[in-house]
Structure 1
Amino acid sequence: MFSRAVLRAAAQQPRFAARNTVRNFADNAFNKERAAVKEHAGKSAELWRKLSIYFVIPCVGLAGLNAYNLWNEHWEHEKHLPPLSERTEYPFQNIRMKNFPWGDGDKTLFWNENVNYHKQDDE
């Protein structure tokens, strides 16, 4: 008797499964909201792509041109200064309590011969 009930339940199982209708998940509120968010994200990404191409890149180019002009103006100004050996050396410049452990001991670690100058004392 028990085996007949099990067989009957097993035979009826496919019938009930066949009766289930296919649900349309596109009508779900969650899926509609998700599609709206995806559409909005696509529009936002397109906006930022256009801003990057048509606004940011030209601004970077203009900033580079401005930096180039300022650089040239600075070095044009430097050309009119007296040579390093004729410039005034103030008492607070190039103070040495003891020699540096590198080189001749008078030049700092980042010494640049084209920019830095130290008048030697004639003592």
Structure 2
Amino acid sequence: MAAFGRLSGVLGRSLVNRGRLYSAAAEHGDSSRCRTWKILTYVVALPGVAVCMLNAYLKTQHHSHERPEFVPYEHLRIRALKFPWGDGTKSLFHNPHVNPLPDGYEDLENDH
């Protein structure tokens, strides 16, 4: 019953009073809440990051590093204006191994 009274009191306050209530609780430093977030960080967040890193590493190991086949789709390489850098055909972050020019891949002398 006391919990219901506390809940109705919190819900009945104005938004300004609620903001003051939350900021006041943060200033006093409730150690149990701090401990809960610390445990969640070490038990959930860090292992989650580790699993994502492992997944990315394993995907790169099984990924084929061959050049994709060039298919001359006209709608993918429309050049209304030339790029303002270089010769005007290569994008700013152009990778000659992966990004073809409008007429196909560049011929590299040292294909890896």
Report the counterpart of residue 10 of structure 1 in structure 2: none
Query: Alpha carbon RMSD of aligned pairs, Å?
Result: 2.9
Q: Does 1:52 align with 2:37?
A: yes
In structure 2, what is the Cα distance between the partners aligned to 1:77 and 1:119? 29
More helix, by proportion: 1
Report the counterpart of residue 7 of structure 1 in structure 2: none
* 1:47-82 per-position Cα deviation (integer Å, ceiling 9, x unaligned): 1221122122322212212221331243245316x4
Match of 1:67 among 37, 47, 52: 52
In structure 2, what is the Cα distance between the partners aligned to 1:53 and 1:99? 53
Aligned residues: 79
Are the aligned partners of 2:72 and 2:102 in contact in 1 as well (CA < 8 Å)?
Answer: yes
Q: Does 1:100 align with 2:83?
A: yes
Larger Cα Rg: Structure 1 or Structure 2? 1
Between the aligned residues of both structures, percent identity stands at 24
Q: Summarize the alignment of residues 13-32 of structure 1 with structure 2, pairs less than 5 Å apart.
A: none
Q: SS of 2:75's equivalent?
A: coil
In structure 2, what is the Cα distance between the partners aligned to 1:93 and 1:112? 16
Instruction: Normalising by structure 2, report the TM-score.
Output: 0.52
Report the counterpart of residue 110 of structure 1 in structure 2: 93
- Evaluate the alpha carbon distance shift between residue 75 and residue 58 of structure 1 in structure 2; reply closer, same or farther with a 3 A threshold: same
Are the aligned partners of 2:83 and 2:91 in contact in 1 as well (CA < 8 Å)?
Answer: yes
- Evaluate the alpha carbon distance shift between residue 62 and residue 88 of structure 1 in structure 2; reply closer, same or farther with a 3 A threshold: farther
Instruction: Normalising by structure 1, report the TM-score.
Output: 0.48
